[in-house]
Amino acid sequence: MIVTLIRESLAPQSLRGIVLKRRLMDILACPIDKHYPLDLHVFEEKEEIVEGLLVCSECGRWYPIMDEIPQLLPDDLREQRDELSWLSKWKENVPPRVLKEGKPFNLQLSG
C-alpha cells in the first residue's frame, strides 16, 4: 500500500492525466438511459480534457465537455442555442453522424 502511494506520487504528470481521464470515463453515464461508458472525443487537452464530446451509443445523445466540465444534463435542462453554437465551433472535430443525427438537437435540424 505504501509502495503504491509513493509510486503514484512519483508518476509523471502525463501519466497522472491518463489515470484521471480513465477514472472520469468510468463514472460518466448517460443521464437518460444510464448507458456507459460513453464514447469520448477530445478536442483540446492539457492536463485534463478541456474541450471534448461525449456520445451515448445507446440513444445517440451527445454531451459537451466545456472548460473541463462534462455537461451531462437531461434534455429539458439543456441550452439548445448555446450548445449548438459550441457544436458548430468544433464541427471540424465532431463526428459527422453527431452533426447530422445527434440528439437531442443537431446542426442539420437547426439548418
CA distance 86 to 83: 5
Q: Give, as ranges, the residues between 42 and 71 that touch Zn ion (CB under 5 A).
A: 56, 58-59, 61
Grid cell, residue 51, equals 474541450
Residue of 25, 32, 50, 99 interacting with Zn ion (CB under 5 A): 32
Nearer to Zn ion, 58 or 68 (CB): 58
Q: Which is nearer to Zn ion, 47 or 75 (CB)?
A: 75
Q: Nearest approach, Cβ of 56 to Zn ion (angstroms)?
A: 3
- 60 and 79 in contact (C-beta within 8 Å)? no
CA distances from 90 to 55, 57, 93, 96 (A): 14, 20, 6, 11
Closer residue to Zn ion in complex, CB, 21/35: 35
